[in-house]
Amino acid sequence: MAPPLLNLAGIKLTFGGTPLLDGADLAASAGDKIALVGRNGSGKSTLLKIAAGLVEPQDGEVFRQPTATVRYLPQMPDMDGFASVRAYVEAGLGPADDPHRATYLMEHLGLTGEENPASLSGGEARRAALARVMAPEPDILLLDEPTNHLDLSVIEWLEEELSRTSSALILISHDRRFLERVSRATVWLDRGQTRRLDRGFAHFEEWRDQILEEEEREQHKLGRQIVREEHWLRYGVTARRKRNMRRLGELQQMRQRFRTHRGAEGTATLTASDAAESGKLVIEAKNIAKSFGDLAVVKDFSTRIQRGDRVGLVGPNGAGKTTVLKMLTGELKPDAGTVRLGVNLEIATLDQKRDAADPDETLAHYLTDGRGENLVVNGEQRHVVSYMKDFLFKPEQARTPVRELSGGERARLLLARVLARPANLLVLDEPTNDLDMETLELLQELVAGFAGTVLLVSHDRDFLDRTVTSVIAPEGDGRWVDYAGGYSDMLAQRGGKRLDDRKTAKKADAAPAATRAEPAAPKAPTKKLSYKQQFALENLPKKIEAVGAAISRLEDAIADPAYYERDPTGFQKTIAALDKERTTLAALEEEWLELEMLREELEG
């Protein structure tokens, strides 16, 4: 294995209260491509900043090869003081770096270099920042949400570019497809600590679920062990005082482990408020067109959207996705053609404006519109704090101003507000931005199972494949086409041709997203323990006690300092017997715990 260019070991950092990082590790060698994943607020960006040397940990070791070059892409690039995008990008080059590389990157990212940094959109600023950090071809490349605000064609180009780079790459992203195609290893930051999987993100979820299941199982075992030890101390056969004190000390240690265990973070509960059923026809557009000056955004487009359809709008930034969306919902009048909306429509909209809320407004005030402490969700009155918990907000955050929220928390807040409104038509413009993987999974389930109709604008290919029933995509020159199926189905129908008309069409991976195998039907549980199992459950504690007593006698024997000098062979036999008894004890305790858990399950 190549020596690490970067190694963080035992990193600790606390901002008051529960540690944000509590012994986290992160290492990267030349050619590594690592996905850094975890919940919003778990400390991913902070760990990346520590790797970049922008934040100092309170404890732990940070090593970077002295000769290694490091470039870090922040979520919010600072371009103050630069007269043009070219000046900003070239400022990231070293003396020996090739300036033509900067020009190449800007061209492929859709920039001329002459743009004024002060007037860039969010997507353009992200492209400029990417060009700046990638141009030097650094030894270590640290990317925090590189795909945010990028359109699909640029994301696909970036995948290819990063797959070819020789830089050690550590990236944070909410885009599943992007992580699957770029990463070769995965580091999971969870409750302050890291675990590493030497496989790409495509294998992460199965691995994570196995870890959490095993952790839950071990915690339950620990609880049952505590119960057994407490029972032994109260009612067991009196043993030697020294053994009693040892077992009492072990019990106190188990209690401490049980109390201090940080369980897995809670899961958001996303449920859309139901409205009365709409008519069968939701939207009918006939030959609609829209131009802005000489620019024809939409020409002669027609579509019918019926109740239950989930329609995705895709295309490069500036293609007119939001314009089409507004015309379809009646918010914007077409220059030509007609749009007819169905009856009984109740529309709930989530737009791209993450600053829609007053930054000084509290979370509770924003969710209730200032109407007290309660709100009505699905016809049921809920206290605002109870509803906030469904979206992973803590009770004390009810009085927190919106300005203090992270990007992910703000995204969850907007979702909470939208989903509280009764609706039979959900209009979601880039809903996946800033969401962590778990919340993204729940949003995906909500959209896929929504009883009404959904209009969705997104650059997240995996999310589109898992949710929509049809895709509306631009074909250039103002023409839009309605394709059946998800994003991969659209590519297949286009012969693999991408949406970016500036590139030469070439065959893309149009295979549908892998579907999860259906779990085997569980066997019907036995109504009760068998006679053999019941007999074992009742008699195992006696066997455990007897083996424990034998272990105590053997430990007392080898504690005699003169034993080895007096009888070396006997001493070695006693050591071997002690090891055997300890193995037997572990097996008996494991069998007892398995039977006790089975009994609880059958009785529960």
Please give the annotated binding residues for ATP, written as ranges. 38-45, 315-322
Residues with Cβ within 8 Å of residue 386, at least 6 apart in sequence: none
Alpha carbons 151 and 259: distance in angstroms, whole number: 47
Alpha carbons 398 and 23: distance in angstroms, whole number: 31
DSSP 91: T
State the virtual CA torsion across 134, 140, 144, 146 in degrees, nearest 10.
Answer: 30
Q: Phi and psi for 510 in degrees, rounded to 5? A: -105, 15
Q: Which residue has the tokens 């049809």?
A: 470
DSSP 269: -
Task: Residue 599: count other Cβ atoms within 10 Å of its Cβ.
Answer: 15
40 close to 435: Cβ distance less than 8 angstroms: yes
SS3 183: coil
* Alpha-carbon torsion (490, 493, 497, 502), positive or negative: negative
563 close to 570: Cβ distance less than 8 angstroms: yes
Six token digits for residue 257: 């482990």
Alpha carbons 241 and 465: distance in angstroms, whole number: 66
State the virtual CA torsion across 436, 438, 444, 447 in degrees, nearest 10.
Answer: -90
Alpha carbons 432 and 418: distance in angstroms, whole number: 14
Q: Phi and psi for 330 in degrees, rounded to 5? A: 85, 5
C-alpha angle 6-11-14 in degrees, rounded to nearest 5: 140
Using alpha carbons, list the distances in angstroms from residue 4 to 26, 32, 134, 439, 537. Answer: 10, 10, 20, 33, 51
Alpha carbons 116 and 203: distance in angstroms, whole number: 42
The packing angle between helices 204-235 and 241-260, to 10°, is 140
* Alpha-carbon torsion (249, 252, 258, 261), positive or negative: negative
* Residue set of the binding site: 38-45, 315-322
Q: Which residue has the tokens 């907007």?
A: 414
Alpha carbons 308 and 46: distance in angstroms, whole number: 42
Closest CA to 22 of 30, 11, 32, 36: 11
Alpha carbons 36 and 185: distance in angstroms, whole number: 9
